[in-house]
Amino acid sequence: MEAIAAWFKPLQQWATSQRDRPSPAWRQLQQILQQRLQQNPNYRFQNALEVEVAASLGLRLDVNCAAAEDWLRLPEITPRQTTTLVQLRQQGFFFADLDDVAQALGLDVSQLQAIAPILVFRYYEAEPEVAIVPCWVNRAKYPEILETLPGVNEAIAREIIHQRLLRGPYRDIADFQRRLQLSPEAIAQWLPCLRF
């Protein structure tokens, strides 16, 4: 195991140095990860390098609204840690930065540096009074889309799935809107429900 770790560390350092000037090797890493994500949108990242490649592809995990299954996709995050983070959020705790996450888990912040590139810390006002059911558009089935997106029609629900199968998971709200050619009004209506 130590031999593998010793071999992997220089590769990880080299690949990290390449991210700002995408080389053919970095682009190849991106393509490999994109293929894995297309085959399995719930793919669990295996190491810090995969997290960094995912971040370079635009994937993000919003710490203040992440579900348990989102946390479990990250390397070195255990089910117990996931439960702690989700329970704290449900109790109204707000994570402002990586230090808050580390403190909640009883870890040193350096232990979370591997997952830092993919994390975003957004502030949300008080929870809405009406419970919002999230629609995980990168894995939702047809009936779930119809049930969770207000005012969605059958044609758009089919197109959401069609585009996901054709071109892979949606990266973010902008990619979702562009691929489906949705109006700003539709996006505004669905924004509280959409999860990627």
R_g over Cα of the chain: 18
How far out from the chain centre does Cα 51 lie? Answer: 10
Strands 61-62 and 119-120: parallel
CA gap 31, 4 in Å, rounded: 23
Tokens, residue 136: 């995980």
Angle CA(40)–CA(73)–CA(180) in degrees, nearest 5? 50
Cα–Cα dist 118/185, whole Å: 29
CA 5 – CA 10 distance, rounded (Å): 9
- Give the model confidence (pLDDT) of 21-65 as tens digits: 668 888 888 899 889 988 888 899 999 999 999 888 888 999 998
d(CA 95, CA 122): 8
What is residue 119's three-state secondary structure?
A: strand
Higher-confidence residue of 10 and 31: namely: 31
Provide mean pLDDT across the span 160-183: 89
Closest Cα to residue 49, out of 1, 10, 77? 10
pLDDT in tens, 103-153: 888 889 999 999 999 999 987 765 545 567 888 899 999 999 988 888 889
Query: 183: burial class by Cβ within 10 Å (0-12, 13-18, 19+)?
Result: exposed
The pLDDT of residue 4 is 46
Percent share of the chain, pLDDT over 70: 85
Tokens describing residue 44: 């669990």
When mean pLDDT is compared across 12-21, 27-36, 90-99, 152-161, the lowest value belongs to: 12-21
What pLDDT, on a 0 to 100 scale, did the predictor assign at position 13?
A: 60
Instruction: Answer for the pair 126, 136: CB distance below 8 angstroms, yes or no.
Output: no
Global pTM value: 0.55
Q: Which residue has the tokens 């109006």?
A: 183
For residue 194, the cross-strand partners are 135
Can you say how many angstroms the Cα of residue 115 is from the centroid of all Cα atoms in its chain?
11
